[in-house]
């Protein structure tokens, strides 16, 4: 498949990755595909899935299989959501608006980054009625984040996803080597933050973010806004319990796709302890390394309500705009439907802990 040359040959998310790499200039590619440090966590996120073995059941009537589920009560076509990702115009001129359209066409929930190249209002206008969450980064000038949140809530976004694993930016060597610089002038929140905050010359755009946040901010969000708050980017039972204590309705077990602390535990490996600590008191999601329908099924078996996919959505965006995103999500949905049937499950809710073995061979 090294010679994959057209979208017609697209069968897997790894095919999508190759098409995207061919479509993007090297600096944009380094930002999209890269991780932090030696990229150990980036690799581990995927490897962790291959250490799990599925225990399938047979002679179950699977003539009707549905991948549909709900997240925080919102119906979605499958337990696969689109993760928040910054600066999407680097992958395609239509940026987040196209990604959101592709997600809506696939019936998937779209999560918009604070440092998007589209505003919440633009995304909402392009995808009326489609489910949307807003990811929050907090600027040192809190007014900038407040304005993004308020616009999103007015536009119908139904939950706030506070990203907790970026108090400072990870060491991304691939970006440094290609000389990647973020298209700050295309991100409305960054433009606002720079105007209000009097940015230093030569600063990194994310230097404008607050690195002094603590758990009390989760409570503050809960008290100020009338939508559920999800904490994204934790990997321990200890932090999961703190998230619950501070009123989180959901948790995303995530290490930011291996882009922050290199050497961090793979998100799939961290999932069981978080699920056990949460014990049904909040929904638990996972992201990092999900590339197959069987990966989605594995995460469900270990207790995730749903997964998020990051890079694969951008791969689709890069080679095919909204249509490419829809194709990538369609592949995952079809693979998940197939995996459910072969596991002997008629729906995501039928997948249990008994469907996976983590025993070492």
Ligand X SMILES: Cc1cc2nc3c(=O)[nH]c(=O)nc-3n(C[C@H](O)[C@H](O)[C@H](O)COP(=O)(O)O)c2cc1C
Assign 300 to helix, strand or coil.
helix
Residue 122 within binding range of ligand X, rule CB under 6 A:
no
Give the pair of three-digit tokens for residue 316. 């689709």
Q: At what angle do helices 40-50 and 293-301 cross, to 10 degrees?
A: 80
Burial class, 110, CB count within 10 angstroms (exposed 0-12 / middle 13-18 / buried 19+): buried
Residue 99 within binding range of ligand X, rule CB under 6 A:
no
Residue 287 within binding range of ligand X, rule CB under 6 A:
yes
Residue 310 within binding range of ligand X, rule CB under 6 A:
yes
Which entry of 92, 246, 256, 355 is annotated as an active-site residue?
256
Say whether 256 is catalytic: yes
Tell me which of 228, 257, 293, 320 binds ligand X, using CB under 6 A.
257
Residue 65 within binding range of ligand X, rule CB under 6 A:
no
Q: In this chain, which residue has its C-beta nearest to ligand X?
A: 310
Would you say 80 or 345 has its CB closer to ligand X? 80
Choose the binding region for ligand X from 81-89, 146-154, 211-219, 315-323 (rule: CB under 6 A). Answer: 81-89
Sign of CA dihedral 139, 143, 146, 151: negative
Exposure on the CB side of residue 45, measured as CA atoms within 13 A: 30
Give the pair of three-digit tokens for residue 311. 């890079």
Looking at residues 224 to 253 of the shown chain, list those that interact with ligand X (rule: CB under 6 A): 232
Looking at residues 9 to 48 of the shown chain, list those that interact with ligand X (rule: CB under 6 A): 31-32, 45
Residue 163 within binding range of ligand X, rule CB under 6 A:
yes
- Smallest gap from residue 338 Cβ to ligand X (A): 20
Residue 117 within binding range of ligand X, rule CB under 6 A:
no
Pairing of strands 160-163, 229-234: parallel
Tell me which of 10, 85, 190, 345 binds ligand X, using CB under 6 A.
85
- The answer to whether 109 and 133 have CB atoms below 8 angstroms apart is yes
Exposed e or buried b per residue across 44-79, where buried means at least 16 C-beta atoms within 10 angstroms of its C-beta: bbbebbebbeeeeeeeeebeebebebebbeeebbbb
Tokens 């100020």 -> residue = 224
- Smallest gap from residue 187 Cβ to ligand X (A): 10
- Smallest gap from residue 296 Cβ to ligand X (A): 11
Tell me which of 115, 221, 325, 345 binds ligand X, using CB under 6 A.
115
Would you say 242 or 290 has its CB closer to ligand X? 290
Contacts of 161 (CB under 8 A, 6+ apart): 84, 111, 133, 134, 135, 136, 229, 230, 231, 232, 250, 252
Would you say 82 or 104 has its CB closer to ligand X? 82
- Smallest gap from residue 314 Cβ to ligand X (A): 6
Would you say 115 or 356 has its CB closer to ligand X? 115
Exposed e or buried b per residue across 289-314, where buried means at least 16 C-beta atoms within 10 angstroms of its C-beta: bbbbbbbbbbbbbbbbbbbbbbbbbb
Residue 172 within binding range of ligand X, rule CB under 6 A:
no
Residue 256 within binding range of ligand X, rule CB under 6 A:
yes
Residue 170 within binding range of ligand X, rule CB under 6 A:
no
- Smallest gap from residue 252 Cβ to ligand X (A): 7
Nearest to 254 by CA among 267, 241, 240: 267
Give me the residues that bind ligand X (CB under 6 A), please.
Answer: 31-32, 45, 83-86, 113, 115, 135, 163, 232, 254, 256-257, 259, 287-290, 309-311, 314
Catalytic machinery residues: 256
């Amino acid at each position: 498949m090294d010679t994959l040359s057209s979208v017609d040959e697209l069968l897997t998310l790894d095919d999508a990755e190759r098409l995207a790499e061919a479509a993007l200039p090297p600096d944009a590619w380094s930002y999209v595909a890269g991780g932090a440090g030696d990229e150990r966590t980036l690799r581990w996120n995927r490897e962790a899935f291959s250490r799990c073995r599925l225990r399938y059941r047979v002679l179950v009537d699977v003539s009707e299989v549905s991948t549909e589920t709900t997240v925080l009560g919102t119906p979605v076509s499958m337990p696969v959501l689109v993760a928040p990702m910054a600066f999407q115009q680097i992958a395609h001129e239509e940026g987040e608006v196209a990604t959101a359209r592709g997600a809506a066409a696939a019936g998937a929930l779209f999560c918009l980054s604070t440092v998007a190249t589209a505003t919440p209002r633009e995304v909402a206008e392009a995808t009326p009625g489609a489910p949307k969450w807003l990811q929050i980064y907090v600027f040192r000038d809190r007014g900038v984040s407040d304005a993004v949140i308020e616009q999103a809530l007015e536009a119908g976004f139904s939950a706030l996803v506070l990203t907790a694993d970026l108090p400072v930016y990870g060491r991304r060597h691939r970006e440094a080597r290609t000389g990647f610089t973020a298209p700050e002038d295309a991100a409305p929140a960054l433009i606002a933050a720079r105007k209000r905050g009097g940015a230093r010359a030569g600063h990194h755009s994310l230097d404008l973010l607050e690195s002094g946040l603590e758990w009390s901010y989760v409570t503050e969000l809960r008290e100020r806004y009338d939508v559920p708050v999800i904490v994204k980017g934790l990997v321990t039972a200890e932090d999961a319990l703190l998230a619950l204590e501070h009123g989180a309705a959901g948790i995303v077990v995530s290490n930011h796709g291996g882009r922050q602390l290199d050497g961090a535990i793979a998100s799939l490996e961290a999932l069981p302890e978080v699920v056990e600590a949460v014990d049904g008191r909040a929904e638990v999601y996972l992201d990092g390394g999900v590339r197959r329908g069987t990966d989605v099924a594995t995460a469900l078996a270990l207790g995730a309500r749903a997964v998020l996919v990051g890079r694969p959505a951008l791969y689709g965006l890069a080679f095919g705009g909204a249509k490419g995103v829809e194709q990538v999500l369609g592949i995952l949905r079809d693979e998940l439907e197939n995996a459910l049937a072969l596991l002997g499950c008629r729906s995501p809710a039928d997948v249990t802990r008994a469907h996976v073995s983590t025993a070492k061979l």
